[in-house]
Amino acid sequence: MNPIDIGDADQRLRLMAYLWADQPHRLSLTQAAIASDPPCPERADAIDWLAHRLTPRPGALHLIWSTVAWQYFPAEAQIRGRALIEAAGARATADAPLAWLSYETDGRQPGAALTLRLWPGGETLDFGRADFHGRWVDWRAP
């Protein structure tokens, strides 16, 4: 709900403090991302933000992408978010498809599940598993 504003030196320092010092590759990637000067994300509840962005667009694929976030949402928000996505999927057409690319914990080990859900149809593809910190990917895409 309160993304870090990398335009602020104190917040950049805060972001770097979140990284584990024994992972210099992650430190380098984060420093490169900061140097690219990306825009600051909106300050909002993720599910409220998503609710206003699920209108189908004819002629375009609408992609929802979640990465190790879902587990941090309160149970009610998870239920609401999934219901919003399912409802948007029910409205999807061949000309305005919906996809949910997910890299989220599923209670299994090791790592997190990589899945792609596609609408219309609601098909779920298992792409494999990945380490929570990006150290490995067990890619099993069909």
Are 110 and 68 within one domain? Answer: yes
Are 70 and 110 within one domain? Answer: yes
Are 22 and 88 within one domain? Answer: no
Are 127 and 65 within one domain? Answer: yes
How many structural domains compose the chain?
2
The pLDDT of residue 53: 94
The pLDDT of residue 27: 92
Are 79 and 103 within one domain? Answer: yes
The pLDDT of residue 99: 98
Are 66 and 125 within one domain? Answer: yes
The pLDDT of residue 37: 85
Are 124 and 58 within one domain? Answer: yes
The pLDDT of residue 72: 92
Are 28 and 91 within one domain? Answer: no
State the residue range of the domain holding 28.
Answer: 1-43
Are 77 and 115 within one domain? Answer: yes
The pLDDT of residue 141: 81
Are 72 and 13 within one domain? Answer: no
What does residue 29 show for φ and ψ, rounded to 5 degrees?
A: -65, -40
The pLDDT of residue 42: 83
The pLDDT of residue 135: 86
The pLDDT of residue 55: 92
The pLDDT of residue 38: 85
Query: How many Cβ atoms sit within 10 Å of the Cβ of residue 117?
Result: 18
Q: Which of 103, 102, 89 is nearest to 61 (CA)?
A: 89
Are 62 and 36 within one domain? Answer: no
Are 98 and 128 within one domain? Answer: yes
- pTM for this model (two decimals): 0.83
Query: Of 13, 28, 43, which one is at a domain's C-terminal end?
Result: 43
The pLDDT of residue 23: 86
- Amino acid identity, residue 2? N
- Amino acid identity, residue 60? A
Low pLDDT (below 70) residues in the chain = none
